[in-house]
Chain A
Amino acid sequence: MAKSSLSLSICIVANAKYLLAITNGVAVQKYLLIRLILFIPTLLIASVIIFFIMRILPGDVVQVVLGGTGQSTYDSEQLEALREELGLKEPLVVQYSSWIWQMVNGSFGGRSLEDREEISNLLARQLPVTLLLTTYALLFSFLVSLPMGVLAASWHNRWPDYTIRFITISGQAIPSLCAALLVILLLLVIFDWSPPIVYTNPWTNPWNHFQIMIWPSVVLGWGYSSHLTRIARSSMLDVLTQDYIRTAKGKGLGQSSIIIRHSLRNALIPVFSVVGLQIGAIISGTVILESIFLLPGIGRGIVHAVTVRDYSVIQSLAVVSVFLMLSVNLLIDLGYAILNPQISYES
């Protein structure tokens, strides 16, 4: 009797899990579809805001191009003629419509107003550099922050915790600009060496790529991993005081087993959500580092475009950044289910 009721229970549980998986699978698809549809109004609203903010800013690309670096003089007739040539005298609605059409027809916003380069080419050149830098920094952060967070929590208020606290607080307090300049200076003074100055792709010259990417990745990753380490430490400390951990300890499980098998997964959930929120920070961190370490990425491209008021480039790159942010956040939301199967997408 007991045996049959056990079999029945197992059968019910198995069926329930199967049903849950099916329901959850359908729900995930539905959730994914809704989120993807929501991308469209979000991107449109962002594009309108970006477009009009750029127009509110004083100065325009024509003045910057004609003004050079402040070393040439020009008159209003020339200004107007060049504005006409670049289509900047069209009504704003016409300019916006024309740009948005160029965004959706595959040319990513047409051409740069400053140097006429096709924005699709510009993206193809700059985006991989930034994505690689961001990926390296993220990898570095994960590889460093999770073990450090666990270590700090396990050795709570003892010397490893203090050391890690010092490293992470420094990482959060020192701006990446200062850290980058400090790295360059230290390499120069101590080793009489500086990073390579010409960027190469990893598939053309891996050694040069490694030498030029390692330092900005470490600098960017230091600040980012510091934040993650702090979150991982707090989260781990929180988990380690839970009843089920006490039970596990009471059963005589070893410390490593408790941490790896029973604590880590739960402690990772807040870390994972912070990753999503902080991805914007890591992308914006590339802006300065790309200039200092001579990386021709999207961050440096945006800074230059803003400086010269290259509207079409700024708008297009900003919309691409918004799209990237939305996509990363969507992936993170989907990833919660892997870490915690109790999370449902039904609602």
Chain B
Amino acid sequence: MVVAHPTPSSNMGSLTYNPKKGGVLRLANRGDPPASFDTLRTSSIALHHVGGGLFGSGNLVTRCRENMYLVCPYVARAWATNNDFTEWIFTIRDDIQWHDGQALVAEDVKFWLTLAKFGFVTEHKSRAPAYFRADLGSIDSIETLEGNRLKIRLTERFPHYLDSLMNPRFKIAHPRHLMKERMEAGDVSMAPLDVGLIGTGPFMLDNYSKGSTISIRKFDNYWERDAKATNLPYLDGIDFITVPDPSAMDAALRTGRIDGGARGEGHYLSLERKQGYDRDLEGNVFYAKMQGGLFRMAFNVLKPGPWQDVRVRRAVSLYIDREAAVPSVLGGFGYISPTFGPSNPFTSSNFSTWSKFNPAKLLDNRIEADKLMKQAGYENGFSIGYLCRSRLVPRCEFLHSQLAGLNIDLNIQIVDEGEWNRGRVSLDYDSQPGAHFTPPLPEATESVFGVYSDNPDAYSKHEDKNITKLYHSLKSASTQAQRVSIWKQIEAYIVDDQAYVVPIAGTIQVVPYLGHVKGLVIPPEDGHTHTDFATVWLNRP
């Protein structure tokens, strides 16, 4: 048995401020958390913005506050693995309590993990496993050991298991002592809201007025402490105000009715809206800027059409003016990248010199694109459908106007969220933008870049087994250098060589906060990260 990762002493070590205690933070939330706050059911930011405070920022492990790309201990204080990375043993902290005073033990984590991976089956009813069950690895068994320890045995080696586990969406929100008996009695669909949102996070539920507010208040027995051994959280509480309309949020924040904005597409600020804040609040406002998902075009190669020809796909990729997308459809905040945000350690630092990503060569690229279309026999263009989410129509129009230069008639098929969620996993559409976001981790991208038969939610629908092989190698890689190297091969193959996916530009998610909000941990990407607000304090005059 070897220790796979050192246990950091504290993830609060670099904090040097002297926080004021008390006060209630008021934040906008874009809607009521769906699925009765069930973190096993949905990744909606409307849930996870609130869920961090209630259920904590992670599970066994979490993303570190200083560097979200590193693994930090959370419910587990230490861990160890065997030589082939198929057995993982976690030692659970002894000082964690559920909000109702019950101690959290290894059995609780086992219950949650089993529920997530395998669902729940009774004689007559069954509960579906979590949507993220694939990210939990190919679990063979979960058992508790003496000394409040938990052993997870995997059927395949998974050296970077902790990286996969630290996803902030995988929150422990299902208390065994309140749910197990009721599930066994047949209520298999029960959700956290059914048991009063009892979690282990820094805040506990005070009041939930559906459609209006979710008030959470400091949990006095929360286990985490800062570098000076002061109990977290600093705040007395947080009121999340449901504000589905972005303009109402702007008005409320600019008049001081709330202290911070909501997270989520539509609520993130555009340059124009940000200027309104700057003008009205004159320096008494700051912005959390986080790299978000990519705007892209991905082809359904399994459906007959000109896009089955790799030359056509490459032509499309070469022709698009990526820089123009940022001001015109990404609200003025964006970046150009093939997959992850620029700050991600797996992002190829030289991608901007790739022919398709080099803005200085746009003219040459377009000439090349015309040649490729001619070679493929489509110099007069063709028509292609594009699945377009109704909330993102400007992006579709941008793409339409760009591709018109190649004589490609982009048939924009506007759909609402219901059809979007169905259509994107089907073979009904010629092309689509793909799901908005993947965890910033190479292994996790197989679900969106892999073959359709195993990954129906993949952006591009293809059956390229070469990609499966590459991902297999990636998941077996033992060292970080190997991971980076294999990931670069995968990325170059999908984006550059085969152009199954045409990345256009990434969004930067901008959330406004009033100047008196201090201690906020702002992740460089993925707005689901660090939503526990345990280190936030208020410096109201």
Contact = CB atoms under 8 A, between A and B. Distances in A.
Given A63-B421, A114-B35, A197-B243, A68 B42 contact: yes
Interface stretch (A35-43, A180-188, A239-247, A255-263): A180-188
Q: DSSP class of A's interface residues: helix, strand, loop or mixed?
A: loop
B212 A64 contact: no
B457 A75 contact: yes
A81 B418 contact: no
Interface residues of B, number: 72
Given A78-B129, A125-B210, A193-B255, A116 B194 contact: yes
B255 A188 contact: yes
Q: How large is the interface on A (under 10, 10 to 19, 20 to 34, 35 or more residues)?
A: 35 or more
Q: DSSP class of B's interface residues: helix, strand, loop or mixed?
A: loop
Contacts of A301: 211
Interface stretch (A151-159, A218-226, A302-310): A302-310
A199 B265 CA distance: 24
B193 A69 contact: no
A92 interface: no
Nearest to A114: B34
A203 interface: no
B437 A58 contact: no
B448 interface: yes
B422 A69 contact: no
Contact of A71 (B210, B242, B437): B437
A82 B42 CA distance: 12
Interface in A192-228: 192-199
Contacts, number: 193
A68 B419 contact: no
Contacts of A84: 126, 128
B468 to A, nearest CB: 15
Interface string B28-53: 00011011100001111110000000
A76 interface: yes
B19 interface: no
Nearest to B428: A58
B447 interface: yes
A301 B528 CA distance: 25
B104 interface: no
A72 to B, nearest CB: 4
A163 B266 CA distance: 39
Interface in A41-72: 57-60, 63-72
B257 A69 contact: no
A59 B418 contact: yes
A73 B131 contact: yes
Interface stretch (B67-75, B149-157, B244-252, B310-318): B244-252
A196 B245 CA distance: 14
B298 interface: no
Contact of A64 (B36, B125, B417, B435): B417
B455 interface: yes
Contacts of A188: 251, 254-255, 280
Interface of A: 57-60, 63-76, 78, 81-82, 84-86, 114-117, 122, 125-126, 181, 184-185, 187-188, 192-199, 291-294, 296, 300-301, 304, 307-309
**10 tightest A-B contacts by CB?**
A296-B211, A59-B418, A81-B128, A67-B421, A63-B421, A68-B43, A194-B251, A73-B457, A72-B43, A59-B422
Given A67-B421, A115-B34, A194-B251, 11 more contacts: A57-B418, A66-B421, A73-B447, A78-B129, A81-B119, A125-B211, A185-B251, A194-B255, A291-B244, A304-B31, A308-B417
11 contacts: A63-B425, A64-B417, A66-B41, A67-B421, A71-B436, A73-B448, A74-B131, A78-B128, A184-B251, A193-B255, A296-B211
